């Protein structure tokens, strides 16, 4: 890796630039949060701190709760949380790269005489920052994205527990248990990672030697202790999160989804191909079309050589990079789960480690100037595409973001909306009202699914809801996100519920235009709001 990267540890600056740039782009040019409502759903769960929800374990709600204890409920602040999550993941990738660089027993490509640890870390962070789960997909902070730093750092502490002795080994063992448990509290899919850890430890001699110490057994006991409150909560609530996880598979095996999931190994790394191509392009007055074709061919070849798994890459690199995918596919083949591409977001965290294991083929030919040119080109491209997308979205005919914040502001300004204690109805829409309403005064109503006395709402009940003013919201969403029948069903069920709880039905329909930087948007969002009056 001749002259590959600077000798000083400049990789933290790469992380800082990556996080700040993507945060600025998503905050400035996105008019709202994700359209599927995952992020506002997290906020709704965060309003009542508990050991579970009616879908997922509680980790993402805990983190969101802690964040908004001191941050405003705005679009930019939520995106900042999402990109700090990416920063922690990239920091973990740098720590993982350091372990592999310094320990020949773990890697087939340890540190060479003309390299420093900073060289390897710089390269790993650069590769990681170009992956889709840590770039284009990372702004959507949900139950998949929250796993990324916990999976990476659990791997770091697993290896440290293998290698370190004394107090360092003890602390690493405790940290392994903690991060593994937090991963499970993020999503049960973390079980795939932990099963991969078990297989990897049996395959590698350092891992097998670990079982002759007390550390794996201490870690297992602590892991179960950390999970015990959640397991007790699940048992007390009729195993609702387990049932939700079980509902993700119906016994049917989708070949299309299997192929899409497995192919994410490559299409989540598409920017790596672009990086390889830019590396090979040189400003040359004699550059002609024939040479351009040769460069394109070479860059494609380089991309596949850099990412295609080989036995010479090292057992552990292959295990961490591939076992989560292989185990997931095995479960999907049984019909236990139906995989979709977004499940693959956390599983490729080790792909940068696999890439640096291949650095003798062909990374030696890449110079420092070329690598910085790659990063500068990518950052420029991100800024330009983000700005272009922002302009298109904010024209009168542009509608990519659902104008939930605009709807919340319109409802909050209505004279009938006074001293609201709770909001329910269509779940993500109720959650968005809870997030955006009264944001400046931090006087947020509590979001409840369907109705305040529904089965899901009673998991984390709101006491004395009958004595508070409330809203029930039904929104006609674009067909991509909800069928028109859902809107009609919401209205019908709400009116039936209100007739049973108060003498009259008080409602109002809002037609909210999508925000535009200039002109008036032709796209509107229709919502029917029902008012519940305190008893």
Q: b/e for 54-79, b at 16 or more Cβ within 10 A?
A: bbbbbbbbbbbbebbeeeebbbeebb
| Poorest-pLDDT segment among 14-23, 140-149, 380-389 | 380-389
pLDDT band, very low/low/confident/very high, at 428 (cuts 50, 70, 90): very high
- 488 and 368 together in one domain: no
- 408 and 380 together in one domain: no
Q: Report pLDDT digits (tens) over 145-156.
A: 999 999 999 999
Q: Report pLDDT digits (tens) over 508-525.
A: 999 988 776 665 565 678
Identify which has the larger pLDDT, 397 or 370.
Answer: 370
- 504 and 362 together in one domain: no
Residue 279 has pLDDT above 80, yes or no: no
- 328 and 477 together in one domain: no
Identify which has the larger pLDDT, 330 or 277.
Answer: 330
- 256 and 206 together in one domain: yes
Residue 39 has pLDDT above 90, yes or no: yes
- 220 and 78 together in one domain: yes
- DSSP designation for 516: -
Question: Domain range for residue 455?
Answer: 404-532
- 195 in a domain, yes or no? yes
- 299 in a domain, yes or no? yes
User: The tokens of 268 are what?
Assistant: 């989540």
CA angle 58, 62, 66 (to 5 degrees): 175
The pLDDT value given to residue 534: 86
Per DSSP, helices labelled H in 470-534 are 484-501
Q: Report pLDDT digits (tens) over 335-349.
A: 777 788 888 899 989
- 342 and 303 together in one domain: yes
- Cβ-contact 125, 90 below 8 angstroms: yes
Identify which has the larger pLDDT, 83 or 244.
Answer: 83
- 348 and 481 together in one domain: no
- 463 in a domain, yes or no? yes
Sign of the Cα pseudo-torsion (301, 306, 310, 312, in order): positive
- 154 in a domain, yes or no? yes
Return the CA Rg of the chain: 25
- 223 and 315 together in one domain: yes
Integer Cα distance of 162 and 198 in angstroms: 13
- 111 and 256 together in one domain: yes
pTM of the model: 0.90
């Amino acid at each position: 890796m001749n002259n590959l990267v600077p000798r000083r540890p400049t990789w933290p600056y790469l992380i800082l630039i990556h996080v700040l740039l993507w945060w600025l782009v998503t905050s400035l040019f996105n008019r709202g949060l994700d359209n599927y409502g995952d992020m506002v759903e997290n906020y709704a769960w965060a309003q009542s701190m508990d050991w579970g929800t009616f879908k997922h374990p509680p980790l993402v709600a805990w983190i969101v709760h802690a964040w908004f204890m001191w941050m405003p409920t705005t679009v930019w602040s939520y995106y900042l949380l999402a990109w700090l999550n990416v920063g922690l993941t990239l920091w973990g990738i740098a720590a993982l790269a350091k372990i592999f660089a310094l320990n020949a027993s773990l890697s087939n490509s340890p540190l060479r005489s003309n390299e420093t640890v900073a060289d390897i870390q710089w390269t790993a962070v650069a590769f990681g920052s170009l992956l889709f789960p840590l770039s284009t997909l990372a702004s959507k902070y949900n139950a998949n994205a929250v796993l990324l730093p916990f999976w990476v750092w659990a791997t770091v502490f697993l290896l440290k527990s293998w290698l370190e002795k004394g107090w360092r080994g003890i602390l690493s063992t405790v940290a392994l248990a903690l991060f593994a448990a937090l991963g499970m509290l993020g999503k049960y899919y973390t079980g795939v990672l932990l099963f991969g850890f078990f297989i990897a430890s049996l395959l590698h001699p350092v891992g097998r030697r670990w079982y002759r110490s007390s550390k794996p057994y201490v870690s297992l006991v602590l892991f179960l202790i950390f999970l015990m409150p959640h397991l007790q909560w699940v048992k007390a609530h009729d195993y609702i999160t387990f049932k939700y996880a079980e509902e993700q598979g119906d016994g049917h095996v989708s070949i299309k989804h299997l192929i899409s999931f497995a192919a994410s190994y490559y299409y989540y790394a598409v920017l790596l191909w672009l990086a390889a191509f830019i590396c090979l392009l040189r400003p040359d007055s004699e550059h002609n079309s024939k040479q351009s074709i040769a460069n394109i061919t070479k860059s494609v070849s380089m991309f596949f050589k850099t990412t295609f798994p080989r036995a010479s890459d090292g057992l552990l690199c292959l295990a961490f990079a591939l076992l989560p995918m292989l185990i997931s596919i095995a479960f999907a083949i049984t019909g236990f789960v139906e995989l979709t591409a977004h499940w693959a977001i956390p599983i490729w965290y080790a792909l940068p480690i696999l890439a640096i294991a291949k650095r003798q083929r062909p990374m030696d030919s890449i110079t420092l100037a070329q690598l910085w040119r790659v990063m500068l080109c990518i950052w420029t491209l991100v800024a330009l595409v983000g700005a272009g997308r922002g302009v298109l979205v904010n024209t009168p005919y542009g509608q990519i973001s659902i104008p939930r914040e605009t709807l919340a502001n319109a409802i909050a300004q209505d004279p009938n909306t006074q001293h609201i204690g709770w909001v329910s109805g269509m779940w993500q829409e109720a959650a968005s009202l809870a997030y955006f309403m009264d944001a400046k005064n931090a006087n947020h109503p509590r979001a409840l699914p369907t109705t305040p006395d529904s089965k899901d709402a009673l998991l984390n009940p709101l006491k004395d809801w009958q004595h508070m003013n409330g809203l029930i919201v039904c929104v006609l969403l674009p067909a991509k996100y909800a069928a028109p029948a859902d809107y009609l069903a919401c209205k019908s069920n709400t009116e039936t519920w209100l007739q049973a709880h108060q003498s009259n039905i008080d409602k109002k329909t809002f037609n909210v235009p999508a925000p535009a930087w200039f002109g008036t948007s032709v796209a509107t969002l229709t919502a029917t709001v029902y008012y519940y009056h305190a008893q």
